Structure 1
Amino acid sequence: MATSTTDAPSRRSVTATGRLASWRTVDIITIAFLGAAFGIVFWGWAFAYEPLSKLVTVAYVPLTGLFAGTWFLAGVVGGLVVRRPGAALFCEVVAALVSMLPGTQWGASTLVSGVLQGLGAELAFALLGYRAWGPAAAALAGALSAPLEWVFEVMKFPASWADVPVLGTVAGGGGWYAELVLRDKIAYLGALGVSGAVIAGGVGWLLTRQLARAGALSAFPAGQEVQEARAV
């Protein structure tokens, strides 16, 4: 049986069954499926992101960060569904890989971003001990998906890195906002964080709840939460 963090059956956060590090086959398959689905969404969003970002750039460049939260959705939803260490990172990386394969304007750096965003979401759930899974936890995971990605986007990498295996991928991407002044870089971080909390956190939590209510997550803690709430 799954365990919980509170005594109120209608409000408790149900945690993963057994040892947190022990993944079930259904966990792996579901995260792979979710990641692939989000990867298709990410690929499609890339086409909408381009004109939207150009539109707000005319007003204030850091505002482009307000559209980034969509990229963080996979990590948040993956974590909320499986609720085991590594789920957020795994889902975000799969999504990034799938979105990269058809080709995007960011090339291989898409995968780097996926790793960084997934690590941020994973950190949020780890800070909560993998025991809190409500809207606040989802918002925190969305917000913390931003900082490492922000570093990647505002940091200027040495050209010599391009000749180093693995690091060459990093040198070939990122640094898109390296020329911004510090004030604007900080504003961009704020925009990323807000977008992550609202879009990835809020929408991600609602999406997970809807999937659970539809019966698609009956094998997972999120589905058990809905069943318990209906039984009260």
Structure 2
Amino acid sequence: MLAKWKLSEIIVLSVLAVVFGVVYLAFVQLGNVMAGIMGPIGYEWIFGIWFIVSIIAAYILRKPGTAFLSETIAGTVEVLIGSATGPMLIVTAMVQGAGAEAVFAATRYKRWSVWVLMLAGMGSSVTSFAWSYFISGYGALDSGYVTLMFVLRLASGAILAGLLGKWISDGLYQTGVLNSYAIARAKKRDTYEEAS
């Protein structure tokens, strides 16, 4: 999968994954507080944050496998720095990354609009919710409650992963640090086409 990647792309993917692995672990604490107040549904409001690296890395690099790899590495980092969930978290990260990756693959890695990024966040929501349903025993909960949990996770994936991920990536692009990556080539091409 990494055979056609430049070293600089692998480094960016890795740095993003490590940074967001730390962010993910920090957000677990916020999720625990929210769940303590609201019950299991408390996590759903912020669940999209745990998909964000897959959106950011894929949007910047625009290569097959980026969403899946970045999420998997971030999950591994989260485990290595002390997640109480343990190695099962790596599988969870793979499931989340696969959801976003499927959306990007469906566009053949050629469409990067805000709507595609939001759909990718929702793709992670779908795969992660299906996984959580069985792993976390959601079947024991009231069906209306579970439906609300799912809707909130979809919204969180679209907003916190899709919209926020695009905003962060575009902000990084504006600094000039991404000038040698696919996001910069696409932005320059779009600017040229608009000017023509």
Q: Same fold (TM over 0.5)?
A: yes
| 1:195 has 2:195 as partner | no
1:144 Cα deviation (Å)?
A: 0.5
- The answer for the alignment partner of 2:10 in structure 1 is 28
1 or 2, which has the higher helix percentage? 2
1:182 Cα deviation (Å)?
A: 2.8
In the TM superposition, what whole-angstrom CA distance separates every residue of 1:94-119 from its partner, at most 9, and x where no partner exists?
A: 11111111222322221111000000
- The answer for the alignment partner of 1:220 in structure 2 is 181
CA distance in 2, matches of 1:28, 1:107: 25
SS where residue 46 of structure 2 aligns? helix
| 1:185 has 2:164 as partner | no
Is the contact between residue 67 and residue 195 of structure 1 (CA under 8 Å) also seen in structure 2?
yes
Which residue of the other structure, out of 32, 50, 56, is the alignment partner of 1:71? Answer: 50
In the TM superposition, what whole-angstrom CA distance separates every residue of 1:58-81 from its partner, at most 9, and x where no partner exists?
A: xxx435312101000011111101
Question: Which residues of 2 match residues 112-191 of structure 1 at below 5 A?
Answer: 112-155=91-134, 174-191=135-152
Mind listing any 5+ residue stretches in structure 2 that lack a counterpart? none
Mind listing any 5+ residue stretches in structure 1 that lack a counterpart? 1-19, 156-173
In the TM superposition, what whole-angstrom CA distance separates every residue of 1:96-143 from its partner, at most 9, and x where no partner exists?
A: 111111222322221111000000000010111110112111101101
| 1:209 has 2:156 as partner | no
SS where residue 145 of structure 1 aligns? helix
What is the percentage of aligned positions where both structures have the same residue? 24
Is the contact between residue 35 and residue 41 of structure 2 (CA under 8 Å) also seen in structure 1?
no
Q: How many residues align?
A: 192
CA distance in 2, matches of 1:178, 1:23: 42
- The answer for the alignment partner of 2:73 in structure 1 is 94
Is the contact between residue 120 and residue 148 of structure 1 (CA under 8 Å) also seen in structure 2?
yes
CA distance in 2, matches of 1:228, 1:128: 19
Larger Rg: 1 or 2?
A: 1
Is the contact between residue 69 and residue 192 of structure 1 (CA under 8 Å) also seen in structure 2?
yes
CA distance in 2, matches of 1:112, 1:181: 26
1:56 Cα deviation (Å)?
A: 2.3
CA distance in 1, matches of 2:145, 2:105: 30
Task: Give the TM-score normalised by structure 2.
Answer: 0.90
Is the contact between residue 72 and residue 97 of structure 2 (CA under 8 Å) also seen in structure 1?
yes
CA distance in 2, matches of 1:228, 1:141: 23
1:202 Cα deviation (Å)?
A: 0.4
